[in-house]
Chain A
Amino acid sequence: MFPNYIIYDTDPQYSWVKYADSLSDVQKVLVLMVLEGIPIILGIAITLKAYLFTIRELEEFPQTLLDHANIKPYKLLLYPALIFITFIPMLIHNIAMIFVDRTPEWSLTIHIFLTNIVGFTNALVYIFQRRLYQNVDKIEKQRFSISSERSASFFEDFDNYESHSRNSMK
């Protein structure tokens, strides 16, 4: 599809995808969209759709139950927001680089900062979220048979709701 469109630069500082010199600006944008733009936009769209769906489902739970479990559904929007904040500045900067000879230094600085810190931000969002620890807590409680009235009642209600929603879909 793109034979010889992509070359790999020998400069180690920027050893990522480079464009062949023969490409026009439109072709460069096309290559960029295939390699970066479409995956990023699809990723944001799918995660946004999935988490909005989950938020809608969670809102059907009684508010007291959510408060009791300390679940805030709108916190789920952090996940698509993370992909947006991390990768969209990079995409804009890379597109701008095709059309201008020299981009402002601050845009490259933002690009470097947000893109290269992705492992750290992913760790913050995916690990230091209370929900994951709740799952760990649930599994460990089941494993070691430690009774906790508060969590037991929550998960009982949760299981009842889940079986009810599954039955209603059949």
Chain B
Amino acid sequence: MNLLEFDVDPDEYPIYQDILDLVCTSLSILGSLVMFYLCLRLPSPRSQSVNFVLSLAVVDFLYATTNILSFFEDRDDEALCGTFCKVEAIIRGFSFFLSVFFATCIGLTCLKTQLPNHLTVAGFLLKYAYFIGLGFCTILYVIL
């Protein structure tokens, strides 16, 4: 079968997309583990930006893990899938949002040294970044 053939029967095209999904997700897991390992290797105390890179590695790993779990689920078992998929979807939503959030926080740390005081919005965001990120995620994906 030609995996790069786009004009195929609709029932067949998910096959190559599944393979692409699996390859990309595996690379993602590998990349996030390498990122996690290299950050942990840094001597303590780690800087705030390195802590954010470490957090980014964790949420990327969670995102990739929820992706790869999809390949091992029994799609016919609705009872199991109903609960499991909901938890998986919430973790995926959390990790997606936090991935963008931590990448933004890493950018903001560049401004930190130039902030006139700690009362600015950026300073506040960085100080309470983990609470703010997790709080927003909970509001968006669990409460709403």
Contact = CB atoms under 8 A, between A and B. Distances in A.
B6 A105 contact: yes
Interface string A9-44: 111110111000000000000000011100110110
- Interface size on B, as a range, is 35 or more
Interface in A116-149: 116-124, 126-127, 132, 135-136, 139-140, 143
B93 A120 contact: no
B110 A39 contact: no
A136 B47 CA distance: 11
Contact of A39 (B63, B101, B144): B101
A47 B107 CA distance: 5
Nearest to A11: B75
A54 B110 contact: yes
B93 A35 contact: yes
B17 A108 contact: yes
A53 interface: yes
A108 B13 CA distance: 11
B106 interface: yes
B43 A140 contact: yes
Interface in B16-33: 17-18, 20-21, 24-25, 27-32
Interface of B: 6, 13-14, 17-18, 20-21, 24-25, 27-32, 34-35, 38-39, 42-43, 47, 50, 53, 56-57, 60-61, 63-64, 67, 69-70, 73, 75, 78, 81-82, 84-86, 88-90, 92-93, 96-97, 99-101, 103-104, 106-108, 110-111, 113-114, 116, 140-141, 144
15 contacts: A8-B89, A12-B69, A35-B97, A47-B104, A50-B110, A51-B107, A53-B114, A83-B100, A109-B6, A118-B99, A119-B30, A120-B28, A122-B103, A127-B35, A135-B50
